[in-house]
Amino acid sequence: MDLVYLLPMLVCSPCLGLGALFVPKVRQALLRQFFSWPPRLPRAAQGRVWFHSASVGEMALALRLARALEARRPGLETVLTTNTPTALAMAQAQGQPVFYKPFDFSLFASLLLGRLQPNLLVLVETELWPNLTRVVSRKIPMVLVNGRLSDQHFESYRKFRFLFAPLLGRISRILAGDATSAQRFGALGAKVELLGNLKWGSTAAPDPVLVQRLREQLGLQPDEFVFVAGSLQPEELAVLVPAGLKMAQGHPKFRALLVPRHPDKRAEFVAQSQALGVELSLTSQGSCLGAQWVLADQMGLLTALYSLASFVFVGGSFCNRGGQNMIEPVGLGKPTVVGPYTANFAEPVALLSAAQGLAVVQDADALVALSQSPSALESLGSNGLHRLQREEGAWTRTIEVLDEVLGPLV
């Protein structure tokens, strides 16, 4: 695999060099992939578990798993790696040791393993890297949790089955998060266990101190109708701003809290909102007292803001991005809606919709109509929460599996 990586890299090296000189994002990505290394950690007396997750959604799950395993095994240490700055910042904000995973060269994988000195590697969802898997599996066991294979990943893996089938065979336990993914792992020759989606039964309670701080910063009152739109892409404002303006006509004490998927796109959100006739107050700039439209342009606020909501829209679903995780607001008992583009979350959308615990809306008018029915909102929130509570067994069983694998090692 090193040669497969190296040849295209050599061909593209002039472009990469120019990008590193003149494009800050390219330069930062190269620094993360090749020059950002953790220190050598001392061997942990009670054992150490290494969690690797791709980005923010997976990191939130990894953090909860790490805390749960630490509570089950006093003295156990955990360390995390990720691919993105936003996920790194999330873990750092919670005081967890976290580092970037370097590029998937064999040498880099060996060096990283030697520096972290773990007893177990836990991969979250679809983080399958050929060299990392090969190098690590020779030294310690690996477990894939909440395993998921999207349509795109499955097609790629099936085309290169000769490569990915042996890779999957190196993983000690593959715990699938849904039936479709379990079938797909099996079709690739893997031994797989279907435990259920961890995100369904693992909604984290928001930090009460942060919730209170945001309540004060926003000046929220108990009788206000708070519309929270989370994990948004800028292009979704074309639907949400007109919908919000219509909602305000039916709710005199209307507040809209917009949470971008990528906070560094704040300028795009501000510009597009202005073009649609709305001025945004930014949480990063301090007090938002009385502001009807607020952009939460800081990391780590989403769960707390969901907890303050009267009505939730989950983004990435009014544009063709496949949707984002709707489990969190549903698990908080909030009436939650998504748009029509939810391919990445097809199974939870189908399951929650069938239980009338999630609404899929096609346009702004449908969103507004639902917001004007208090009884429909109450039923939506209650039904969704009750449906998720039936899925809590997946979380308990996953912790048990990790404890089983770790048991003989420390």
Q: What is the pLDDT of residues 277-326, one digit of tens each?
A: 999 999 999 999 989 999 999 988 999 999 999 999 999 999 989 999 89
Q: Do 184 and 225 share a structural domain?
A: no
Distance CA 109, CA 76 (A): 23
Residue 316: per-residue pLDDT: 96
Q: Which pLDDT band, with edges at 50, 70 and 90, does 37 fall under?
A: very high
Is 127 one of the annotated active-site residues of the chain?
no
User: What is the rounded end-to-end Cα distance, in angstroms, of the chain?
Assistant: 32
The DSSP output letter for 232 is: E
Contact by Cβ (8 Å): 147, 122: no
Predicted TM-score (pTM) of the model is: 0.71
Do 298 and 402 lie in one domain? The reply is no
Mean pLDDT confidence for 15-36: 78
**Angle at CA 19, nearest 5°, toward 110 and 267?**
105
Is 316:240 a contact under the CB 8 Å cutoff? no
Distance between CA atoms of residues 68 and 406, nearest Å? 14
Asked if residue 10 is part of any domain, the answer here is no
Range of the domain at 111: 36-201+393-409
What was the pLDDT predicted at 274? 97
Question: 94-141 pLDDT, tens per residue?
Answer: 899 999 999 999 999 999 999 999 999 999 998 889 999 999 999 999
Cβ atoms 154, 84 nearer than 8 A = no
Domain contains 94: yes
Please check the confidence at residue 220 and state whether its pLDDT lies above 70.
Answer: yes
pLDDT score at 150 = 84
Same domain, 332 and 282: yes
Catalytic residue selected from 58, 125, 236, 328:
58
Q: Which residue has the higher pLDDT, 11 or 161?
A: 161
Helix axes 161-169, 151-159, angle to 10 degrees: 100
Which pLDDT value is given to residue 19? Answer: 66
Tens of pLDDT, residue by residue over 41-77, are: 999 999 999 999 988 889 989 999 999 999 999 999 9
Q: Are residues 40 and 93 in the same domain?
A: yes
Average pLDDT along the chain: 92
Does the pLDDT at position 5 exceed 90?
no
Residue 378's contacts (CB-CB under 8 Å, 6 or more residues apart) are: 335
Integer Cα distance of 397 and 198 in angstroms: 10
Give the pLDDT mean for 158-176: 91
Please give the Cα distance from 69 to 244 (Å, whole number). 42
Identify the pLDDT of residue 312: 98
Q: Are residues 337 and 399 in the same domain?
A: no
Residues 344-403 pLDDT 10s: 888 889 989 999 999 999 999 999 999 999 999 999 999 999 988 877 788 889 999 999
Tell me, yes or no, whether 127 and 238 share the same domain: no
Residue among 89, 106, 138, 113 nearest 40 (CA): 113
Q: Which residues pair with 295 in a beta bridge?
A: 258, 282
Residues 246 and 376 in one domain: yes
Considering the domain architecture, whether residues 247 and 324 belong to the same structural domain is answered as yes
Residues 107 and 215 occupy one common structural domain: no
Q: Which tops the pLDDT comparison, 333 or 203?
A: 333
CA dist., res. 320 & res. 323, Å (int): 8
User: 288 and 169 in one domain?
Assistant: no
